[in-house]
Amino acid sequence: MTGARRRTRARAGLAGLVAWLGLGVAAPAWASPASPPAGIIGGTTTAVGQYPTVVGLTVSNNLCTGTLIAPSWVLTAAHCVDPDVLGMTSQDQVTAAVRVHFDTVDVVNDLGTLVGAAATYKDPLFNKSRLGANDIGLIQLATPVTTVEPSPINISATMAPVGTVVTIVGYGSTEKGAQGSIGIEYELRNRMSVSCPSLGIGNDTNLLCFSQADDRGTCQGDSGGPAFAMVAGRQTVVGVTSFGDQQCADYGADTRVDVEQSFLVQHVPELIGCLGDKDCPAHRMCFAHTCMAQPFSPSGLGAVCETAADCDSSICAVSSQDGKRCSLTCSPSDSQSCPGGFECLKSGSSPVGGCWPEAGGGCCDIGGPGSPGTALLGLAAVALGLRRRRR
């Protein structure tokens, strides 16, 4: 990475960071009045290097968050780079004003390593007057960053169903009503997505939605920041912070990355991942565009495990009949959300399940469908109790 590293105390030029990008964005028809794009409330401060791909974005006096997803590309929200939202006359003017802050967790007091932009793009279908879809944007860096391994993005909806547990990272406000500190990186772990219609804010195809009734969640300044989930053993971007209610008290919504695949791949084709097993190293297979250990191989799905660290997927599940085995989160309503030879076992009333060897196949016979001894007692990574579907 190149770029001049500069340190400064809060200066008049950065005082404008408290003016967040949601200002002036009209409320969607299905939300309460003045519902803005969404900073992190109830989170924990991070340390430099803890999330090296997560960056602060300043565009003139506006603040957003982004994620490095390729050496020359940062993922953010469309409204963070939209000239109309920013009050600028052209996309070129936005590009000239962008500063990407690496290696800092406090963009007000430590600018970190600054990298400019060569180009900025918003999804052309984004409509600032109707949030809920297409709020995705890209920043092409003027100088590639080669000292940080980019974060992978999720391109398969089945890998991030409703009920997915995520870690949210951002530089936004730390108190309701856009109060508290701003410009400091916070993390918020163990947030489970809920049905968007249950919150009255759109649909689950386009969004990952989170209740903030427990006084934790996103707020002004976190726009464009990542929601990370474990996918095939890697911390993967599944959502991009988009909007929330005016006081940051009721809900927050993220644009699903998987539904924006065509826009992202148009600009960054290398994001597609593997297309088949031939694209993966030896002893690994391609599933949902991700290379992962072969089933029943050491660390692969179905392999015996003691802890999550033993599994390529970082999930060690326990069965009442045949002990602990490596698993993978899945959607019980989608028969394609597990590799061949595995089925998605339901977890009580939760919409998230776990991949488990099909009865009579793979490593062992765990009983016929619906047999009384086939309950999974839990998944180490997400603490779910799973039960075999009755047919």
Q: Decide if pLDDT at 154 tops 60.
A: yes
Q: Are 53 and 67 in contact (CB under 8 A)?
A: yes
Pick from 115-129, 167-181, 269-283, 328-342: least confident: 167-181
Task: Kindly indicate the confidence band of residue 24, based on its pLDDT and cuts at 50, 70 and 90.
Answer: very low
Reported as a single tens digit per residue, the pLDDT across 267-301 is: 998 888 787 888 888 888 998 878 889 999 999 99
Reported as a single tens digit per residue, the pLDDT across 155-171 is: 889 889 999 999 999 99
d(CA 197, CA 46): 32
The listed range with the strongest mean pLDDT (9-23, 80-94, 356-370) is 80-94
Mean pLDDT of the chain: 80
DSSP letter for each residue of 87-145: T-S-HHHHHHHEEEEES-SBTTTEEEEEEEEEEEEE-TT--TTS-SS---EEEEESS--
Pick from 139-143, 194-198, 342-346, 351-355: least confident: 351-355
Reported as a single tens digit per residue, the pLDDT across 187-237 is: 999 999 999 999 999 899 999 999 999 988 898 889 999 999 998 788 999
